Amino acid sequence: MGPTLIRSLGLVLTVAYGSLIVWTYANQPRTVAEMTGGITASVGAYRIDQPSYQDGLRYFHADRFLEARSAFARADPAKQDATTQFYIAYSFLREGWGRVYSDPALLQQARATLEHAIEVAPGGRINVADPNLTLTTSDELRAEIARGLTHDASDMNPFKVFRRRP
């Protein structure tokens, strides 16, 4: 192997390894699963666990949100799949939403999860083709969460109890 080839190989290795380190420090993965998942997602090789995802969907549509989140977390341990994260955010919204009162802690969790989902989504936009959902895009979900976290005079409107669940 000639000197030029050795130096070129070293340069490629250094750039690749350095990029990986910069990515890790910039994204701050909290677990080894998040780190490996993030790296595989960056090269387009990340896949979620489909059986767990289907379990999550089933629980979600049955309004069993804790079970749904547990299954979705198992399906997407690296939190790199935008659709799965969208469903997790949606489950927080549905659990925290109320006709009279919304739980701000759950809505805050919904907001944080949705913001992360938007970060990892290609193009920063999520569109889920699920006829059982009232809100099918990340923009609609974000707006609904914001409305739930906002307190104004319309909260006193008694007809608010008749509004449709998101």
Partner 1 sequence: MASTPTGPLSPLPPLPPLTPVPPLLETSAMSATIERVRRGRIIRESITLPLIFLTVSFGGGLRVAAASRHLVFLPPSLMALVLALLLLGALVRSGTLVPEALLRPDRPPLANASGLIVVITLFVAAAQVFNTTTPESGLLQFIVNLFFLLLLWNTVAAQPDRRRMIASLIVILGGAFVVKYVVLGALYDPAGGLTKRVLMTMLEGVTLGGLTYESPAPITGYVAFFTVLLFLIGVTLLPARAAGPDPGDR
Query: What are the residues binding partner 1 (CB under 8 A)?
Result: 1, 3-4, 6-11, 13-14, 17-18, 21, 24-25, 28-32, 35
Measured CA to CA, the distance from residue 38 to residue 35 in angstroms comes to 5
For residues 80 and 112, the answer to whether their CB atoms sit within 8 Å is: no
The burial of 99, by beta-carbon neighbours within 10 Å (0-12 exposed, 13-18 middle, 19 or more buried), is given as exposed
Nearer to partner 1, 29 or 166 (CB): 29
For 16, the token pair is: 């690749």
CB of 113 to partner 1, least distance (A): 17
Nearer to partner 1, 7 or 58 (CB): 7
Nearer to partner 1, 8 or 157 (CB): 8
CB of 79 to partner 1, least distance (A): 13
Measured CA to CA, the distance from residue 36 to residue 118 in angstroms comes to 20
CB of 78 to partner 1, least distance (A): 13
